[in-house]
Amino acid sequence: MIRQKKPPSHDPYAAAKNPLLSARLPAWRSKFVILIVFAAFAALAVRAFWVQIVNQDFYVDQGQKRYQRVLELDAMRGRIVDRHGSMLAVSLATYEIWATPKLVEDSAIAPLAKLLDLPAAELRRRLSGERSFVLLKRQVDADTAAQLTRLGLAGITQIADSKRFYPEGESAAHVVGFTDIEDNGQEGIELAANEQLLGTPGQREVIRDRLGRVVSETRPLVPARNGATIQLTIDRRIQQLAYAQLKAAIAQHRAEAGSVVVLDARNGEILALANYPSFDPNDRAGLTGRQLRNRAVIDTFEPGSTIKPLVVALSMDEGKVRPQSIIDTAPGWYKIGPAVIHDTSNHGAMTVAEAVQKSSNIALAKLALNLPAKTIWTKYQQYGLGTKPELTFPGVAAGKVRPFKRWRPIEQATMAYGYGLSVSLLQIAQVYTAYAGDGTMQRVSLLREPLDADAGDSFGAHGEQVTTPATARAIRNMLETATGAGGTGRAATVEGYRVGGKTGTARKQIGASYAKNRYRALFVGMAPMSDPRLIVAVMIDDPAGKAFYGGTVAGPVFSGVMGGSLQLLGVLPDAPGV
């Protein structure tokens, strides 16, 4: 008998009763997992709200820094030109080379270092820092920048820049000055007119790709506004001539230093202002303070006999003497209290005109002692002595004239022949403008157009009447005899032109006393005497050769500068028979 199997059970709950399929975990665990997932989504939502809504600006800014950058567009520094528009200082186009270190590949180090003329080790050091944008080199010329572009190196950026260039080199260095690596003026007109020369920088906002290359601009370019052009009264040709003559004289006489100032006698404009030693503003390696000194403007000294025409003019204006008045200078020495002053020889009785011609200390001392001390002091102030020239230029010296109440008789006497006061060469040149015309002293100026009406440069300003027209003519006649036969300035003559001037030989004061064999040789004069056009003042400091007098050392420099300048300006000769 065959047993039949029972059909399988169809109990719907059979599976649930299977121990393998029955749940072992409590129900609260699944609820906990659901809660965690919900909390995670909530946190993400809060974070998204924080990033997208609350702190959006910060994160947008951080993101933009990865690909967007604002580049400053440098303004081109303004030019400095002479009175005819010739360049004295100009900015040449150069480039700054920057790098994004993490984008620069190792294989680029060698060619980059060679092109930028940098040691490879130094280049690696600069690229190894934490900064995201690093300056590699400034003032790279256009040819080098073009070669760099052709290399197509990743992470390298070029930014337009400029480099200052001075075409006149050392001849005009003290006038023009120079700038630093940041293009800020440091000396001369570069410093005095720095604000006007700088201009206003612009901006360029760009987007870079992952290799650091500029791919587009995000907003309109804000162009840079270039600096203004500054025009000086300087004549480049006369400046070169003055410097060359000065340099040759200092070498010939083995002098320590020297200066030359050339003025337009009609309005006081400075046509040349030269100093030696000088420097090349295009290459300032090894530059010293001695080379930097603008001696014609900032150095003061006792002017010696170049001041004598001033006291003679004052005595004539006060009615004390006339050109033909006689002064007894015998026996060649003159005692004032315990002090004794001397002439180079016994000139005996001489006229006032002869006193200027032969440069008599005794005659001038007697003239000074015949005037009230206050009158002399007041006139010196009127001539601008002891006061800074009204000039837009750094370091202009005022010189010194002590208060008249403190003058002893010997000091009042020495004031008349240039001891006991201090002046700059520029101040002495300015004084002589009064005698070149009708007695009106023209204030010196260096700018063709003032930077500011109240800034101090006196271009276009009226001069001041310091002596009468008749006295000015008489002084001119005396100065002309000083360069003729029997005068102390015979070496200052100029072929074809009538010239006039005054020599000066002043002992150098070292400490509290005067050195025995150290001098400053000076000459100040004008030409042509029929209608003076130029004034030239020369100072040679401490000539070490046999010659040291102003007439023999400074006179020939005056002659060379004056003669060449008159020809450059096309001034017709006025000497008899020419």
Give dist(CA 575, CA 498) in Å, integer.
5
- Short-list 125, 442, 96, CA closest to 266: 442
The confidence score (pLDDT) of residue 459 equals: 45
Give dist(CA 436, CA 479) in Å, integer.
10
**Given this structure, which CATH class describes domain 236-568?**
alpha beta
The confidence score (pLDDT) of residue 5 equals: 56
Segment-wise mean pLDDT, segments of 10 residues, the chain, 578 residues = 55 56 66 82 80 71 62 82 96 87 84 88 83 84 87 84 90 95 91 92 70 59 85 97 98 96 97 96 87 94 96 97 96 94 94 95 96 97 94 92 94 94 97 96 89 52 87 97 92 96 91 85 97 97 92 96 97 87
The confidence score (pLDDT) of residue 375 equals: 97
- To the nearest 10°, report the CA torsion of 388, 391, 397, 400: -20
The confidence score (pLDDT) of residue 16 equals: 52
The confidence score (pLDDT) of residue 460 equals: 44
Helix (H, G, I), strand (E, B) or coil at 42: helix
SS3 content of the chain, % helix, strand, coil (to 5): 35, 25, 40
Determine the angle formed by the axes of helices 555-568 and 236-253, rounding to 10 degrees. Answer: 160
The confidence score (pLDDT) of residue 63 equals: 61
Domains 70-94+161-231 and 236-568 in one fold: no
Q: Which residues are catalytic?
A: 305
The confidence score (pLDDT) of residue 571 equals: 96
Question: What are the structural domain ranges in the chain?
Answer: 70-94+161-231, 236-568
Give dist(CA 465, CA 442) in Å, integer.
9
In our burial notation (b when 16+ CB lie closer than 10 A, e otherwise), range 192-212 reads bbbeebbbeeeebbbebeeeb
pTM: 0.81
Helix (H, G, I), strand (E, B) or coil at 399: coil
Residues 6 or more apart in contact with residue 170 via CB below 8 angstroms: 243, 278, 279, 280, 281
Write out the two tokens for 87. 């360049």
Topology of the domain comprising 70-94+161-231: Penicillin-binding protein 2a (Domain 2) (3.90.1310)
Q: How many CB atoms lie within 10 A of CB 564?
A: 18
Write out the two tokens for 355. 């006193």
CB 534 within 8 A of CB 566: yes
Please report the sign of the dihedral spanned by the C-alpha atoms of residue 125, residue 131, residue 137, residue 141: positive
